[in-house]
Amino acid sequence: MFGIMKTVSEVTSKEIKTIIDKDTHIVGNINGDGSLRVDGTVDGDITLDGCVFIGESGRVNGSITADELTISGIVDGNVIISKRLSIYADGQLTGDISAGSLSVEAGGHFNGYCNMSPALA
């Protein structure tokens, strides 16, 4: 979108500490710091001091709390993002949002309520 947003595939492995592969299914909560990329399925909540990337094949059934969230897959749950939330053309979010800023690319889907607060940014 105007060259500002990094696509999920452009994120290098150097920037990501943990990757959940497309053939992996995790049941349970994930907590920590650093960056996480989800290409598989997570049934549980994610709480990170860092960035979360949901790839095109990724799915999260649970809430996400992080500094930044980029969605190209599916998130079914509420999100609290202190900085930037980006939903790409293939991304879907069903749940309520609290974020510092929100960007939804044409074709991206969001179903829920949104509260944007400059104090979060």
Q: What is the mean pLDDT of residues 87-107?
A: 96
Question: Could you give the dihedral angle defined by the CA atoms of residues 17, 22, 24 and 29, in that order, rounded to the nearest 10 degrees?
Answer: 60
Whether 86 is covered by a domain: the verdict is: yes
Per-residue pLDDT tens over the stretch 3-30: 445 554 455 444 788 999 999 999 999 9
Q: What is the mean pLDDT of residues 77-106?
A: 96
Both tokens of residue 87? 């939903």
**Where in the sequence is the domain holding 12, given as residue range(s)?**
8-116
Whether 3 is covered by a domain: the verdict is: no
Both tokens of residue 28? 């349970």
Whether 2 is covered by a domain: the verdict is: no
Helix, strand, coil % over all residues of the chain, rounded to 5: 0, 50, 45
Whether 61 is covered by a domain: the verdict is: yes
pLDDT at 4: 45
For 16, 47, 60, the CA distances from 26, given in Å and listed in that order, are: 18, 14, 10
> For the chain, how many structural domains are there in total?
1
